Amino acid sequence: MKLGLFGGTFDPIHLGHLRAAESAREELGLDLVAFVPSSVPPHRFGQLTEANDRFAMTCLACAHHPSFVAWDTELRRPGPSYTVETVELVRAERPGDDIVLVVGADTWPEMTTWRDPARLLAQVTVAVVTRPDGPVPPAAVSGVVRVGGPSLPISATLVRDRVRRGESVRFLVPDAVADYITKRGLYS
Protein backbone atom coordinates (compact mmCIF):
# COMPACT_ATOMS: atom_id res chain seq x y z
CA MET A 1 0.00 0.00 0.00
CA LYS A 2 1.16 3.50 -0.75
CA LEU A 3 0.46 5.41 2.46
CA GLY A 4 0.50 9.16 2.95
CA LEU A 5 1.17 10.40 6.48
CA PHE A 6 -0.05 13.93 7.06
CA GLY A 7 0.76 15.25 10.52
CA GLY A 8 0.05 18.53 12.20
CA THR A 9 -1.68 20.18 15.08
CA PHE A 10 -4.96 20.39 13.13
CA ASP A 11 -6.11 23.13 15.50
CA PRO A 12 -8.55 22.99 13.74
CA ILE A 13 -8.36 20.90 10.62
CA HIS A 14 -9.64 22.95 7.67
CA LEU A 15 -10.44 22.63 3.98
CA GLY A 16 -6.90 23.70 3.04
CA HIS A 17 -5.55 20.59 4.82
CA LEU A 18 -8.08 18.37 3.07
CA ARG A 19 -7.38 19.89 -0.35
CA ALA A 20 -3.61 19.45 0.15
CA ALA A 21 -4.12 15.79 1.09
CA GLU A 22 -6.38 15.22 -1.91
CA SER A 23 -3.82 16.80 -4.25
CA ALA A 24 -1.10 14.52 -2.84
CA ARG A 25 -3.38 11.48 -3.03
CA GLU A 26 -4.22 12.12 -6.67
CA GLU A 27 -0.80 13.18 -7.92
CA LEU A 28 1.18 10.47 -6.12
CA GLY A 29 -1.36 7.64 -6.34
CA LEU A 30 -1.70 7.25 -2.58
CA ASP A 31 -4.03 4.46 -1.48
CA LEU A 32 -4.64 6.02 1.92
CA VAL A 33 -3.88 9.34 3.61
CA ALA A 34 -3.61 9.09 7.39
CA PHE A 35 -4.07 12.38 9.24
CA VAL A 36 -2.02 12.24 12.44
CA PRO A 37 -2.76 15.02 14.95
CA SER A 38 0.23 15.73 17.16
CA SER A 39 -0.13 15.37 20.89
CA VAL A 40 2.65 17.68 22.04
CA PRO A 41 4.05 19.52 18.99
CA PRO A 42 7.64 20.51 19.79
CA HIS A 43 7.54 23.56 17.47
CA ARG A 44 4.22 24.97 18.62
CA PHE A 45 4.21 27.51 21.41
CA GLY A 46 1.23 28.97 23.19
CA GLN A 47 -2.13 27.48 23.98
CA LEU A 48 -3.23 24.40 22.09
CA THR A 49 -6.71 22.91 21.99
CA GLU A 50 -7.03 19.58 23.82
CA ALA A 51 -5.69 16.69 21.75
CA ASN A 52 -8.95 14.76 22.01
CA ASP A 53 -10.87 17.69 20.50
CA ARG A 54 -8.35 18.06 17.67
CA PHE A 55 -8.55 14.31 17.00
CA ALA A 56 -12.37 14.36 17.05
CA MET A 57 -12.42 17.21 14.51
CA THR A 58 -9.94 15.32 12.33
CA CYS A 59 -12.16 12.21 12.46
CA LEU A 60 -15.17 14.30 11.44
CA ALA A 61 -13.25 15.88 8.57
CA CYS A 62 -12.13 12.50 7.22
CA ALA A 63 -15.41 10.66 7.72
CA HIS A 64 -16.79 11.03 4.19
CA HIS A 65 -13.65 10.38 2.13
CA PRO A 66 -12.92 6.71 1.48
CA SER A 67 -9.15 7.28 1.31
CA PHE A 68 -8.80 9.56 4.35
CA VAL A 69 -8.50 8.34 7.92
CA ALA A 70 -7.58 9.93 11.26
CA TRP A 71 -4.98 8.09 13.33
CA ASP A 72 -4.30 8.68 17.03
CA THR A 73 -0.74 7.35 16.73
CA GLU A 74 0.89 10.39 18.35
CA LEU A 75 -1.87 10.84 20.93
CA ARG A 76 -1.12 7.40 22.37
CA ARG A 77 2.55 8.28 23.01
CA PRO A 78 3.71 10.39 25.94
CA GLY A 79 6.01 13.35 25.44
CA PRO A 80 6.71 15.45 22.36
CA SER A 81 5.39 14.29 18.98
CA TYR A 82 8.45 13.74 16.83
CA THR A 83 7.71 12.80 13.22
CA VAL A 84 10.74 10.53 12.93
CA GLU A 85 9.44 8.43 15.84
CA THR A 86 5.96 8.31 14.33
CA VAL A 87 7.36 7.14 10.99
CA GLU A 88 9.40 4.43 12.72
CA LEU A 89 6.34 3.24 14.62
CA VAL A 90 4.22 3.12 11.46
CA ARG A 91 7.04 1.32 9.60
CA ALA A 92 7.17 -1.32 12.35
CA GLU A 93 3.39 -1.78 12.25
CA ARG A 94 3.16 -1.72 8.43
CA PRO A 95 6.48 -3.01 7.05
CA GLY A 96 5.18 -3.53 3.51
CA ASP A 97 3.85 -0.02 3.01
CA ASP A 98 5.55 2.66 0.96
CA ILE A 99 5.34 5.75 3.20
CA VAL A 100 5.07 9.29 1.86
CA LEU A 101 5.23 12.13 4.36
CA VAL A 102 2.85 14.88 3.21
CA VAL A 103 3.77 18.39 4.35
CA GLY A 104 2.70 21.86 3.38
CA ALA A 105 5.10 24.26 1.73
CA ASP A 106 5.00 26.33 4.93
CA THR A 107 6.33 23.34 6.88
CA TRP A 108 9.07 22.42 4.41
CA PRO A 109 11.61 25.08 5.59
CA GLU A 110 11.15 23.97 9.23
CA MET A 111 12.08 20.36 8.58
CA THR A 112 15.79 20.97 9.11
CA THR A 113 14.96 21.86 12.73
CA TRP A 114 13.00 18.67 13.37
CA ARG A 115 14.41 15.82 15.42
CA ASP A 116 16.94 13.87 13.36
CA PRO A 117 15.90 15.09 9.89
CA ALA A 118 18.47 12.92 8.11
CA ARG A 119 17.07 9.78 9.76
CA LEU A 120 13.55 10.87 8.82
CA LEU A 121 14.41 11.62 5.19
CA ALA A 122 16.08 8.23 4.86
CA GLN A 123 12.78 6.50 5.65
CA VAL A 124 10.20 8.38 3.59
CA THR A 125 9.56 10.31 0.46
CA VAL A 126 8.50 13.84 1.37
CA ALA A 127 5.66 15.31 -0.66
CA VAL A 128 5.64 19.10 -0.35
CA VAL A 129 2.24 20.50 -1.25
CA THR A 130 2.67 23.99 -2.64
CA ARG A 131 0.50 26.89 -1.52
CA PRO A 132 -0.16 30.18 -3.26
CA ASP A 133 1.55 32.07 -0.43
CA GLY A 134 4.22 29.57 0.57
CA PRO A 135 7.82 28.76 -0.25
CA VAL A 136 8.61 26.14 -2.86
CA PRO A 137 11.22 23.44 -2.26
CA PRO A 138 14.21 23.32 -4.58
CA ALA A 139 13.55 21.31 -7.73
CA ALA A 140 16.24 18.70 -7.21
CA VAL A 141 16.27 17.47 -3.63
CA SER A 142 16.60 13.72 -3.33
CA GLY A 143 13.58 12.07 -1.76
CA VAL A 144 11.43 15.20 -2.04
CA VAL A 145 8.64 15.71 -4.56
CA ARG A 146 6.54 18.78 -5.24
CA VAL A 147 2.78 18.41 -5.35
CA GLY A 148 0.80 21.00 -7.24
CA GLY A 149 -2.89 21.23 -7.88
CA PRO A 150 -5.44 23.62 -6.51
CA SER A 151 -4.81 24.91 -3.03
CA LEU A 152 -6.78 27.01 -0.61
CA PRO A 153 -5.20 29.92 1.28
CA ILE A 154 -6.75 28.97 4.62
CA SER A 155 -4.91 28.71 7.91
CA ALA A 156 -5.94 27.39 11.30
CA THR A 157 -5.01 30.81 12.72
CA LEU A 158 -7.54 32.44 10.39
CA VAL A 159 -10.23 29.98 11.51
CA ARG A 160 -9.50 30.48 15.22
CA ASP A 161 -9.47 34.28 14.82
CA ARG A 162 -12.81 34.25 13.00
CA VAL A 163 -14.38 32.15 15.76
CA ARG A 164 -12.99 34.52 18.43
CA ARG A 165 -14.58 37.45 16.60
CA GLY A 166 -17.92 35.62 16.30
CA GLU A 167 -17.61 35.28 12.51
CA SER A 168 -18.65 32.28 10.45
CA VAL A 169 -16.14 29.58 9.54
CA ARG A 170 -18.51 27.83 7.12
CA PHE A 171 -16.76 26.88 3.88
CA LEU A 172 -13.38 27.17 5.65
CA VAL A 173 -13.82 23.95 7.62
CA PRO A 174 -16.12 20.97 6.97
CA ASP A 175 -19.64 21.58 8.30
CA ALA A 176 -19.25 18.84 10.92
CA VAL A 177 -16.09 20.56 12.20
CA ALA A 178 -17.84 23.95 12.33
CA ASP A 179 -20.66 22.35 14.32
CA TYR A 180 -18.18 20.68 16.67
CA ILE A 181 -16.37 23.97 17.29
CA THR A 182 -19.69 25.64 18.15
CA LYS A 183 -20.97 22.81 20.37
CA ARG A 184 -17.70 22.56 22.31
CA GLY A 185 -17.21 26.33 22.53
CA LEU A 186 -13.72 26.08 21.07
CA TYR A 187 -11.65 29.17 20.21
CA SER A 188 -14.14 31.56 21.81
pLDDT at 106: 83
pTM of the model: 0.94
pLDDT recorded at residue 22: 98
Cβ proximity of 96 and 120 under 8 Å = no
Residue 100 has pLDDT above 70, yes or no: yes
- For residue 104, give the nearest of 55, 140, 64, 155 by alpha carbon: 155
Q: What is the pLDDT of residue 41?
A: 86
Whether the per-residue pLDDT at 45 is higher than 90: the answer is no
**Dihedral Cα 54, 73, 19, 26, nearest 10 deg:** -170
Answer yes or no: are the C-beta atoms of 13 and 38 closer than 8 Å: no
Other C-beta atoms closer than 10 Å to the C-beta of 99 total: 17
Instruction: Kindly state the average pLDDT of the residues 75-93.
Output: 95
Q: How far apart are the first and last CA of the chain?
A: 41
What number is the average pLDDT over the span 40-61? 91
The edge-to-edge listing of strands for the beta sheet with 125-129 is: 68-70, 32-37, 2-8, 98-104, 125-129, 144-147
Among the ranges given (38-52, 60-74, 132-146), the one the predictor scored with the smallest mean pLDDT: 132-146
Give the model's pLDDT for residue 44.
76
C-alpha closest to that of 32 among 72, 1, 63, 60? 1
Using CA atoms, how far apart are residues 119 and 167, in angstroms rounded to an integer?
Answer: 43
Which residues make Cβ contacts (< 8 Å) with residue 105, sequence separation at least 6? 128, 129, 130, 131, 134, 135, 136, 137
* pLDDT surpassing 70 at residue 51: yes
- For residues 53 and 89, the answer to whether their CB atoms sit within 8 Å is no
Residue 178 has pLDDT above 90, yes or no: yes
Decide if pLDDT at 133 tops 70. no
- The domain limits of the chain are 2-152
Nearest-Å Rg of the Cα atoms of the chain is 16
- Between CA 165 and CA 188 the distance in angstroms is 8
Give the distance from CA 139 to its chain's centroid: 23
- The listed range with the strongest mean pLDDT (34-48, 96-110, 161-175) is 161-175
Residue with more model confidence, 30 or 112 = 30
* pLDDT score of 135: 63
Q: Are 1 and 110 in contact (CB under 8 A)?
A: no
Q: Look at domain 2-152 and name its CATH class.
A: alpha beta
Q: How far is CA 171 from each of CA 63, 105, 184, rounded to the nearest angstrom?
A: 17, 22, 19
